[in-house]
Structure 1
Amino acid sequence: MARLIAIDYGTKRVGLAATDPLQIIASALDTVHAKDVLVF
């Protein structure tokens, strides 16, 4: 099975997570400040 990436976009921080190969458990990868994600 393919792994999935999840993006949890909040007003202050954005969290990134990925599943294991069997898509049973998602683990956090990183968090970044929301203002650093999309700079216009």
Structure 2
Amino acid sequence: MSQPFKDPFNFVYFLGFLLVLMLPTLPATLSWLKHLNLL
């Protein structure tokens, strides 16, 4: 449990995993932002 380099690595890996999960929803979010900007 006393490994200082393990937590940041897990955090970055978790962020990368979230980014991979969010990739399919990028076009939808971009379209929503475009519609909000048009309004």
Q: TM class, shorter-chain normalised?
A: under 0.3
Question: If you compute each CA radius of gyration, which structure gives the higher value, 1 or 2?
Answer: 2
Task: Determine which structure has greater relative contact order: mean sequence separation of CA pairs < 8 Å that are 6+ residues apart, divided by chain length.
Answer: 1
- Structure 1-normalised TM-score? 0.25
- Select the structure that is richer in helix: 2
- Select the structure that is richer in strand: 1
